[in-house]
Amino acid sequence: MRDSNIYDRQRVHTCNCRGHWMKRRLGELAFGIVWKVLAFLGISRLDYYRHYARSDIDQKYKTLTGCTSEEEFDQTGKLVLEQLISLGFKQNSKILDLGCGTGRLATQLLPYLGEQGEYYGCDISPEVIEFCRKRYSRSNFHFLTNQMKKIPLSLGANFDFIWCYSVFTHIFPDEMVCLLQECKRLIRPQGLLLASYYIAGREPAFLKRVKSFYGNRDRMEYGDDFLREIISEQGLFVLDTISIQKQPIFVLRLR
């Protein structure tokens, strides 16, 4: 589940002594064991592939991606677009929507984005991508199925904005590292990456000591310092922290 090279680098940069590092690793290993037991038993594990494959996307697309109502789907999309515009997003901007789901942002961009603008939506669900291709049909709207650690684009540093909502809130550190590296590869030097996170609050005792992460596919929470270390190690920095409907969002930029 984890890439040892990632944690070796983390140890060099963040641990002042071997004892501190051992506490951190033991905490993470203990969590890993618990999570694997829960996964084996099928407890508190969200399977997105099965979730979408079994759903009537055409009829329920507005309530399949975390929204409790159609109104919330529309309102959240509007708030996201307003926030992007406040950060410099224009009708001719190029944006990657990582974890696009059923098109919460695409719905708002469909009438807003100009002919010179460009939208790319990526999601791990083939069913969702097929739905989006049919519903948001424009020559400058593109939809692709991505992997958990790979974005299938070879455009180079092409995007002014990368929007990553409700993705890092459901993945593990090694997966987040890979996706941050992919985003770094695809974003322009002055571009902005906006990503939502759950910041750890009431952790179990052993995780309070290591301040790393805990949760599962349903909800993954990160210690603030641990999260910022991962971001920094990928050559990014936190430019600002904003909130959309009480969801913390980091605004990131290349170093």
Residue-wise pLDDT tens digits, 154-167? 878 899 999 999 99
Whether residue 2 is predicted with pLDDT greater than 50 in this model: the reply is no
Q: What is the predicted pLDDT for the residue at 38?
A: 46
Q: Which domains, ranges and CATH numbers included, belong to the chain?
A: 4-254 (3.40.50.150)
Other beta carbons less than 10 A from residue 26's beta carbon = 13
Q: Please give the helix or strand (H or E) that residue 32 lies within, else none.
A: helix 18-41
Please tell me the distance from the alpha carbon of residue 89 to that of residue 192, in angstroms, as a whole number: 10
Percent of the chain with pLDDT over 90: 61
More confident residue, 245 or 85: 85
Read off the pLDDT of residues 171-211 as tens digits, 9 standing for 90 and up: 999 999 999 999 999 999 999 999 999 988 655 555 555 47
Lowest mean pLDDT among 87-96, 111-120, 205-214: 205-214
Our CA dihedral for 203, 206, 209, 212, rounded to 10 degrees, sits at -60
Read off the pLDDT of residues 120-139 as tens digits, 9 standing for 90 and up: 999 999 999 999 999 999 99
Please tell me the distance from the alpha carbon of residue 62 to that of residue 68, in angstroms, as a whole number: 9
Q: What is the predicted pLDDT for the residue at 33?
A: 55
Whether residue 100 is predicted with pLDDT greater than 60 in this model: the reply is yes
**Contact indicator for 184, 254 with CB cutoff of 8 Å:** yes
CB proximity list for 223: less than 8 A, separation 6 or greater: 199, 200, 203, 207, 210, 211, 212, 213
Read off the pLDDT of residues 205-228 as tens digits, 9 standing for 90 and up: 555 554 788 888 888 999 999 999
